[in-house]
A and B are shown apart, each in its own frame.
Chain A
Amino acid sequence: MTPLALLSGSPRRVAGVAGAVAAALVLLALPGLVNPYLLFQACLVMVTATAGLGLVLIMGWSGQIALSQAGFLGVGAYATTYLVAQGWAWPLAAVTAGLVAALFGVLIGLPATRLRGFYLAIATLAFAELMIRVFVEATPVTGGIAGTAVQAVVLPGIDVDGSRWYLCLAVAAVTTAVVMRIGRVGLGRRLRVVRDAEIAAPSLGVSPMRTKLLAFALSAFIGGIAGALYAQCLSYLTPEIFDMGLLIEFLVIAFLGGVGYVAGPFLGAVVVVVLRDLLQDLGSWQRLVYGLILALAIAFLPRGLASLPARLRARRPAPPAPEPPPVSGQADLTGAAR
């Protein structure tokens, strides 16, 4: 599409495109616009949002309660750091680490194909705890309790902070594009069929088992890649980084933001990164706030911040909305039957 063709669209569309271009420019120019500290916070938003996109796939769209994302992040972080220390290039190491995480995802997902929701919650929680034990014990790779230092990636001609930002931005952008694409193609519909009508799925030619396993693998892969980035942000890894506290942050990110929406994790990530910064010296207060936010979000905003525009639009009485906001994911069922 040429720029001219874009401009010939409706004014609303032009405004949308212009907004997107402006946002992209601001994001690309960010290292020159803000100080390194804010840039670092922005990196954290991108990383946690990327991990959150994995949760959109597994929890939002396929409806599986997976409490293992912190464990996958740990696998990705440690594996990348180890491989880079062995002389691998960072991109190759990160993708390999993602594949390792995906393998774990399939392993933990195998029982998931047979388990009712909360058994899965327990199994995935136990897996995450088990991974922490592994990080503590596997001293040759992880450095055990003492931890291991992360080699920073430096892009040619850019300083460390800028390199980290572009790395995080690129991965977040690619992941967002991939997840959005998945949401639109057959896989996204299959995921939602499994969530909303698992028993009917086979009659639509959808195998719940294969679909769930794929969701687990993809979500773990994204978690692993996010872990590789998270390692870049932390610069030093210890096992307790990936404990229950991180899981709780992810739950806040996913459910405050809105686990059914691609934009959800980004909204949630901004809130969590700001909170983390505000409350960093107040350990227990921080957890109290997270817990309360999570509880309030579940009780009063079950579809998250990302659902607010649609909700407000639905509440406004006069002009009929061009497309009614889906009340639940079930609207997609008809699409899957095609």
Chain B
Amino acid sequence: MWQQIISGLQAGSWYSLMALAMVLVLKATDVPNFAMAELGLFPAFCTWALIDGAHLSWWLAVPIGLLIGVALSVVVERTAIRPILAENHFATVLMTIAVFVVINAVVQLVWGSEPRKIDSPFAGSFTVAGQVVAYEQLLSIAAGLAVMAGLILFFRTPLGVRMQAIAEDRVTPRLLGVSVTTVFRTSWALAGAIATIALLLQGQASLLTDQNGSGLLIKGFVAATLGGFSSITGAFVGGLALGVAENLAGAYISTSSKTAIALLAIVVVLSIKPQGLFGRHQVREV
């Protein structure tokens, strides 16, 4: 039971990170990003290649991977998203799906479909009260907590406040001298780094394949939806809850119920309480 919960918290941390990246982009730019997981998948594969192919140390490869993640997100935001932001929501949603397809195809073309594992210095485990805990599990949970705390602090900084202002209203903050460009670029850059962290953690604790992205995408969406899509804490708790629920269902109901639980959760939550379990109802001006 405890074993299941710890594994659930570990997987839940990846979901939380993915959800945080999506909430960040949504809060700042009002774009639901279907490409978010792929924006982390490509840098994670680059990191694997740096460690496995170029024999770089993990401590050097991971920062490079994060930089690639930041750069990729910034480029995508600038070239694909920003030119069409003036059009309706529809176009941006479809554009992120197109970006998802393109990056996923590139990953498949470059690295194929065979599963990889990122070697990390955090292998091994220890025993607490009869329960085996892997260092990787602690690392995942700690990283999730750290990113959440960082984001909460970030949204209190002047740049973070501007970001929220832009999400609410694209016009008035500009009149007050807020640079929309900076806000958009920063949010996508941060989100790219966070998505990369999620995929890296998953890639070194379990396996890295070209399918990891679409899996984490749905889980991240579920977590963010549970959390109401506007709340940082909500998204984080949503991810952990989903991870634990999945693992318990997998252990005590059936293995196939594990994959269905996230999808059921999203359909049920959206039908019953669309603003999410932690979200507040958003009133929009007509």
Chain B positions 64 through 107: 1 when the CB is less than 8 Å from some CB of chain A, otherwise 0: 00000000000000001001100101110111011111101110
The answer, yes or no, to whether A248 is at the interface (CB within 8 Å) is yes
User: When the two chains form the complex, which single residue of A126, A288, A299 contacts B105, counting CB atoms closer than 8 Å?
Assistant: A288
A111 touches B274 (CB 8 A): yes
* Segment at the interface with B among A112-120, A152-160, A167-175, A315-323: A112-120
**Among the listed B87, B100, B101, B270, which residue makes an inter-chain contact with A122, where contact means beta carbons less than 8 Å apart?**
B270
B176 at interface, CB cutoff 8 A? no
B120 partner residues in chain A, CB cutoff 8 A? none
B260 touches A299 (CB 8 A): no
Determine whether the beta carbon of B94 is less than 8 Å from that of A287.
no
Report yes or no: B97 in contact with A117, Cβ–Cβ below 8 A.
no
Least CB separation from A121: chain B residue: B93
Verify B90–A117 contact, CB threshold 8 A.
yes
Q: Does A18 contact B (CB under 8 A)?
A: no
Which of these binds chain B: A22-30, A35-43, A220-228, A290-298? A290-298
Asked whether A277 is an interface residue with its Cβ less than 8 Å from the other chain, the reply is no
Q: How far is the CB of A252 from chain B (nearest CB, A)?
A: 9
B226-247 Cβ-contact flags toward A at 8 Å (1 or 0): 0001000000000000000000
Selected from B99, B108, B270, the residue in CB contact (under 8 A) with A287 is B108
B221 within 8 A of A: yes
In the assembled complex, which residues on chain B have CB atoms less than 8 Å from the CB atom of A115? Answer: 270, 274
In the complex, B218 has a CB within 8 A of chain A = yes
Q: Are B97 and A251 in contact (CB under 8 A)?
A: yes
Asked if B214 and A121 make an inter-chain contact with CB atoms under 8 angstroms apart, the answer reads no
Nearest B residue (CB) for A110: B271
B266 at interface, CB cutoff 8 A: yes
1/0 per position for B95-130, CB-CB distance to A under 8 A? 101111110111011000000000000000000000
Inter-subunit contact A130/B90 (CB<8 Å): no
Which residue in A118, A123, A133, A244 is a CB contact (below 8 Å) of B260?
A133
- Tell yes or no: B43 within 8 A of A by CB: no
The answer to whether A119 touches B270, judged by C-beta atoms less than 8 angstroms apart, is yes
A:255-294 near B, CB below 8 Å: 255, 283-285, 287-288, 290-292, 294
A199: chain B residues at CB < 8 Å are: 286
Residue of A nearest to B90 (CB): A65
A302 with B87, Cβ < 8 A, contacts A115-B274, A119-B270, A291-B99 known: yes
Cα-based distance from A98 to B116 in the complex (angstroms): 43
Within 8 A of B (CB), among A85-126: 108, 110-111, 114-115, 117-119, 121-123, 125-126
B83 touches A65 (CB 8 A): no
Per the bound structure, the CA–CA distance linking A65 and B105 in Å amounts to 24
**A interface residues, tally (CB under 8 Å):** 40
Q: Given A119-B270, A248-B97, A298-B91 in contact, is the A288-B80 Cβ separation under 8 Å? A: no
Question: Which chain A positions have C-beta within 8 A of B101?
Answer: 248, 287-288, 290-291, 294
**Do B225 and A119 touch (CB < 8 A)?**
yes
Kindly list chain B residues whose C-beta atoms are within 8 Å of the C-beta of A166. Answer: none
Interface pair A133/B267, CB less than 8 Å apart? no
Given contacts A126-B218, A137-B256, A295-B95, contact A288 B263 (CB under 8 A): no
Please give, as numbers and ranges, the residues of chain B lying within 8 Å of A133 by CB-CB distance: 256, 259-260, 263
Residues of B contacting A288 with CB < 8 Å? 101-102, 105-106, 109
Tell me, rounded to whole Å, the shortest Cβ–Cβ distance linking B206 to chain A: 20
C-alpha spacing A127/B84, complex, angstroms: 28
Contacts of A121 in B (CB 8 A): 32, 34, 93
Provide the residues of chain A in CB contact with B253, threshold 8 Å: none
Residue A129 is within 8 A (CB to CB) of chain B in the complex? yes
Name A118's closest neighbour in chain B (CB-CB): B32
Query: Are the CB atoms of A130 and B267 closer together than 8 Å?
Result: yes
Residues on A facing B (Cβ under 8 Å):
59, 63, 65, 108, 110-111, 114-115, 117-119, 121-123, 125-127, 129-130, 133, 136-137, 199, 244, 248, 251, 255, 283-285, 287-288, 290-292, 294-295, 298-299, 302
A-B pairs with beta carbons under 8 Å apart, 14 shown: A59-B90, A65-B89, A111-B274, A119-B229, A122-B32, A125-B221, A126-B221, A126-B262, A129-B263, A244-B214, A287-B104, A291-B99, A299-B80, A299-B83
Q: A114-B274, A295-B98 are in contact. List 17 more A-B contacts (CB 8 A).
A: A65-B90, A108-B267, A115-B274, A119-B229, A125-B221, A133-B256, A133-B259, A199-B286, A244-B214, A255-B94, A285-B105, A288-B101, A291-B99, A291-B101, A294-B97, A295-B102, A298-B95
List the 9 closest pairs (A to B, CB-CB), nearest first. Answer: A291-B101, A118-B32, A291-B102, A288-B105, A295-B98, A284-B108, A294-B98, A287-B105, A130-B263
